[in-house]
Amino acid sequence: MISSNEFRTGTTIELEGEVFQVVEFQHVKPGKGAAFVRTKLKNVKTGGVVERKFNAGEKVPKARIERREMQFLYKDGDNFVVMDTNNYEQYTLTAEQIGDGVKWLKENMSIGTVFFQGNVIGIDIPNSVQLQVVETEPGVRGDTATGGSKPATLETGAVVQVPFFVNNGDVLIIDTRTGSYVQRA
């Protein structure tokens, strides 16, 4: 058990059978009434963020999660096979377990895997990835002056908006948190 007064960014707790990570917290002492802790909690499994108030000193169960470094090996139909880099054990994950990170997964990529009670509940994709453009309209000389963008399909199947000067075969750095183009590699 952990007291709400001990909340810190990154602390994981259990609420209503789900695992949440504290994203933001604020201790509030109003002029009238008891103190409380206002929090923003991210559901580790779904990625959804909720706001919740706790009474000061309220006890909640602390979630014991384990993070392991793994390597994405390949996609097998609708499943994704990853390997623990320490003991070479392989796990098969579904798209639901991976979440939005599915569109950024590239073979042999290192990912962080989050375990709760022996089960995989999510993965941590790197903040940026290098992916090759497989299809986009060719750039036209002089288009860069307008500062616009065009869609480009990447090797993983993800579609992102890129500047006009990007061509097929270019390797791009993509921010996985926002899904946006950063620069050419």
Report if pTM > 0.85: no
Residues 75 and 118 in one domain: yes
C-alpha–C-alpha distance, residues 54 and 2, integer Å = 12
CATH of residue 179: 2.40.50.140
- Per-residue pLDDT tens over the stretch 35-56: 888 999 888 777 788 899 988 8
Domain boundary among 21, 39, 60: 60
- How far is residue 60 CA from its own chain's centroid? 25
Residues 155 and 173 in one domain: yes
- Write out the residue range of the structural domain in which residue 119 sits: 67-124
- Per-residue pLDDT tens over the stretch 127-161: 888 888 888 888 666 555 566 788 889 988 889 88
Determine how many CB atoms are found less than 10 A away from the CB of residue 98.
Answer: 22
Q: Please answer whether residues 166 and 173 qualify as being in contact, where contact means their C-beta atoms are separated by less than 8 angstroms.
A: no
Domain boundary among 14, 34, 60: 60
Q: What total number of domains does the chain contain? A: 3
Residues 73 and 120 in one domain: yes
Residues 119 and 132 in one domain: no
Of 28, 18, 23, nearest to 8 by C-alpha is: 23
Residues 119 and 134 in one domain: no
**Long-range pairs for 36-39: beta carbons < 8 A, 24 or more residues apart:** 37/4, 37/5, 37/7, 39/4, 39/7
Name the helix (H) or strand (E) containing 181. strand 180-184
